[in-house]
Amino acid sequence: SQPCWSEYLTTRIEQNMVVNCTCPISECCAQPTTAFIYSIVSSEEIIAKYEKALLRCYVECCSNLTWCTNPQGCDQILLKDGLGYGAACSKCSWISCFNCSFPEAHYPASCSHMSHMTCAKCSHGFCWRCLKPWRPNHKDYYNCSAMVSKAAWQEKRFQDYNERCTFHHHAREFATSLRSSISSIREMPKLRNLTFVLDACKVLEQARKVLAYSCVYSYYNQDSESMDIVEEQAESLELLTNTL
């Protein structure tokens, strides 16, 4: 009956299970069509959820489409361009990485650079940015006895780069917060000419982002011949950024 179908489909939509749902009769594998669902379900709210489920399924099935990865939340669909990073989201301006699970474009660091660190002795994985374990069952990370003289040097080197990387991320957050604060007061009569300050904050955000991921790049490529030039450019950018 229609009431039974309506209740069944509504439940499946609420549970995000409607896309692959079949007839409730156990021996029947028929799937309800979109036209059938529209004719049975009358609630506009439930229909809206159904259409969102269809959209999610479509995006997940298309290899050239993805969702914006802005951690603050964004429902924009992006077209992948085949590069490690794409154009800024037209809705929130966030730049996503299309090749790995890291939430934003991380040039000049490669996708492999953004993978988590792993202990050579116990294979414990931990986060590059915060040093928190990827798996919570490792209880002796800070007392790991795998350290030898070379390993200790590597740890110190890692900590140095990690501190620099973290500093630039925090500085970037400050620039973002500053731009937001200025934007909220720019309509006041005496503070209309703040375009330069807002543009400067945007430049700061981008520069801090590049500097943060340059630390990742430098950490993994310290022994290459090109690193002297990269380090010089990074130092120059950091000096100018700090001045700004």
Residue 40 and residue 140 share a domain: no
H helix runs in the chain, sequence order: 2-14, 34-40, 44-61, 149-185, 195-220, 227-243
Closest listed residue to residue 209, CA positions, set 181, 170, 244:
170
pLDDT digit string, tens, across residues 85-135: 566 788 888 888 777 667 777 777 776 666 556 665 666 666 554 555 655
Q: Structurally, how many domains does the chain consist of?
A: 3
Query: Which tokens hold the place of 110?
Result: 């490669």
Closest listed residue to residue 133, CA positions, set 112, 157, 117, 109:
117
Alpha carbon distance 20, 16 (integer Å): 10
Q: Give me the pLDDT at residue 207, please.
A: 93
Which amino acid, one-letter code, is at 102?
F
Evaluate if residue 148 carries a pLDDT over 50. no
Structural domain contains residue 115: no
Mean pLDDT, rounded, for 165-171: 90
Instruction: Tell me which DSSP letter residue 20 carries.
Output: T
Residue 235 and residue 136 share a domain: yes
- Torsion angles phi and psi, residue 225, rounded to 5: -70, -25
pLDDT digit string, tens, across residues 179-238: 888 887 756 555 556 788 888 999 999 999 999 988 888 888 766 666 777 787 888 898
Is the whole-model pTM more than 0.75? no
Closest listed residue to residue 94, CA positions, set 113, 114, 77:
77
Residue 80 and residue 55 share a domain: no
Structural domain contains residue 114: no
Query: Which tokens hold the place of 159?
Result: 């900590």
Alpha carbon distance 154, 120 (integer Å): 12
| Residue 192 three-state SS | coil
Q: Give me the pLDDT at residue 202, please.
A: 92
| Domain limits for position 66 | 62-105
Query: In the chain, what are the helix, strand and coil shares in percent, each to the nearest 5?
Result: 50, 5, 45
Residue 76 and residue 97 share a domain: yes
Residue 136 and residue 86 share a domain: no
- Torsion angles phi and psi, residue 70, rounded to 5: -55, 120
Final residue of a structural domain among 25, 44, 59: 59
Final residue of a structural domain among 105, 139, 159: 105
Q: How many CA atoms lie within 13 A of 188 on its CB side?
A: 9
Final residue of a structural domain among 105, 138, 169: 105
Residue 129 and residue 76 share a domain: no
Q: Give me the pLDDT at residue 160, please.
A: 82
Taken in order 183, 185, 186, 191, the sign of the CA dihedral is negative
